Amino acid sequence: MTTTPAPVSGEGGVDAYAKLAQLGLTLPQVVPPLAAYVPAVQSGNYVYVSGQLPLVDGKLPKAGRVGAEVTPEEAAELAKICGLNALAAIEALVGLGRLVKIVKVTGFVASAPGFTGQPLVVNGASNLFGEVLGEQGRHARSAVGVAELPLGAPVEVEVIAEVA
């Protein structure tokens, strides 16, 4: 028998809004789609967040492949921005108050030949979800190395979340 955790804000759950404020983080505006898709879609009790690039005010802070033009540490910070953008997409669609759990995170890392630290890069997003959401931020995950990402981004993160 499985049990469903309490929503992350409200009675018994982590208040995601308060935790973001405590961490000095602000949810950005939702990143507009770069092609023919929507930032997030709900189906039943799940929200599927499209791959989020580390865009800040519509701009990519750093471009290139990790292990060449971008250090793994810089890429982890960019993955954190991707995570914030994913939370913003959830907020815009259903509100963080309805978030029950981050279920799955997939991180794509534009990797230089020989770079094998993709999991450490995607930790930037995973750690953010843990810091903001506590136990409800723990998730299954894949970290995949790729040759190129849109706009030359070093990292892209997509999320599946359960909502009440």
Q: Please report whether residue 2 resides in a domain.
A: no
Q: How confident is the model at residue 62 (pLDDT cuts 50, 70, 90)?
A: very high
Residue 7 has pLDDT above 70, yes or no: no
Cα(126)–Cα(140) distance, integer angstroms? 10
| pLDDT tens for each residue of 93-130 | 999 999 999 999 999 999 999 999 999 999 999 999 99
**Contact present, 76 and 143 (Cβ < 8 Å):** no
Cα(79)–Cα(20) distance, integer angstroms? 16
Cα(142)–Cα(45) distance, integer angstroms? 22
Domain count of the fold of the chain: 1
- CATH number of the domain enclosing 136: 3.30.1330.40
Helix (H, G, I), strand (E, B) or coil at 40: strand
Domain residues for the domain of 88 are: 16-163
Give residue for tokens 């939702």: 30
Give residue for tokens 């949810």: 27
Q: Please report whether residue 76 resides in a domain.
A: yes
SS (HEC) of 110-147:
EECCCCCCHHHHHHHHHHHHHHHHHHHHCCEEEEEEEC
**Contact present, 47 and 40 (Cβ < 8 Å):** yes
Q: Please report whether residue 72 resides in a domain.
A: yes
Q: Please report whether residue 73 resides in a domain.
A: yes
Q: Please report whether residue 50 resides in a domain.
A: yes
